[in-house]
Amino acid sequence: MTVSPHALDVAVALTPVGEHQFTGHTHPAYGNMVGPFGGTIAATLLNGVLSHPERLGDPVSLTVHYAAPITDGAFEVHARPMRTNRSTQHWLVELRQSGGVAAFATSLTALRRDTWSATDAVFPQVTPADQLPRTTSLFRTAWPMAYDMRFADGEQPLGSVERDDALTRVWIRDEPPRPLDFLSLSAICDAFFPRIFVRRPRIVPAGTVTLTIYFHADAALLSAQGSAHVLGCARGLRYSQGFHDQTAEVWSPRGELLAVGHQVVYFKE
């Protein structure tokens, strides 16, 4: 029996070609309006860290700069530890195409140990995923079809209505299902559409420019999720002079805060 790898694993796969260097290739299942979905680029950059022989511990943070349009096709990834301490490590990862830096990321990894723990953010009470239909009102690009999204609230055709806020609560998992890990969680953190499309009754050119993810889950907690939906709660903060920010909490169905993503989105007009 032959088992085909999941498209996400193909999209983020890196082949070592030298010290600190890898090659990769975009995947049509994660195509966006122009080039690839930013979530798979974030996951690919993180994979540069996770695939590196010198890596220490699990990801705690990831900051991605989408510096230039990425063309569908091959790219190089260059990952190197900027500083290695006893239990933490700081990384710089670059994605290069045609000799230029098209995207880059910094990351903190750490050996995590049990400590006092608490959650101040509040897990929202929403309709469970299995009682909601999979959305069909998505943007006309490939990548949203690589997810099963079920909106607990905030579902609407993008750019269709004027709202007072941009809050969306959506259950999401890979489609076809795939066990959750740091790579898929990173991609999911960029799967919440620009809030400007939720907030305003029109579509304007827009896209993520920089994304920061804080990982609260360790590998064991992610693994325990299997391929269940996670709950994303996204909202905007301020929109002005061509940029807005937005924040998304990603929760397990049992109310564990797995990750928080913050991003800056460019928009026109």
Query: Could you give the CA distance from residue 95 to residue 41 in angstroms, rounded to a whole number?
Result: 9
254 binds a second copy (CB under 8 A): no
63 binds a second copy (CB under 8 A): yes
The number of residues that bind a second copy (CB under 8 A) is 62
Query: Could you give the CA distance from residue 59 to residue 103 in angstroms, rounded to a whole number?
Result: 19
Residue list 79-108, contact with a second copy (CB under 8 A): 82-83, 85, 88, 90, 92, 94, 100-102, 104, 106, 108
Token code pair at residue 134: 């999979």
Return the residue of 9, 25, 71, 216 that touches a second copy, per CB under 8 A: 216
Q: How far is the CB of 1 from a second copy (least distance, A)?
A: 39
64 strand-pairing partners: 105, 211
Query: Could you give the CA distance from residue 161 to residue 123 in angstroms, rounded to a whole number?
Result: 27
Q: Name the CA dihedral angle for 256, 179, 21, 62, rounded to a multiple of 10 degrees.
A: -20
116 binds a second copy (CB under 8 A): yes
Q: How far is the CB of 214 from a second copy (least distance, A)?
A: 5
185 binds a second copy (CB under 8 A): no
CA-nearest of 265, 180, 212, 192 to 60 is 212
Neighbours of 262 (CB within 10 A): 16
Query: Could you give the CA distance from residue 153 to residue 35 in angstroms, rounded to a whole number?
Result: 29
Q: Per CB under 8 A, which region of 2-10, 29-37, 127-135, 255-263 contacts a second copy? A: 255-263
| Site residues (vs a second copy, CB under 8 A) | 60-61, 63, 65, 67-68, 82-83, 85, 88, 90, 92, 94, 100-102, 104, 106, 108, 110, 112-121, 164-166, 195, 199-200, 209-210, 212, 214, 216, 218, 235-243, 245, 247, 249, 257, 260, 262, 264, 266-269
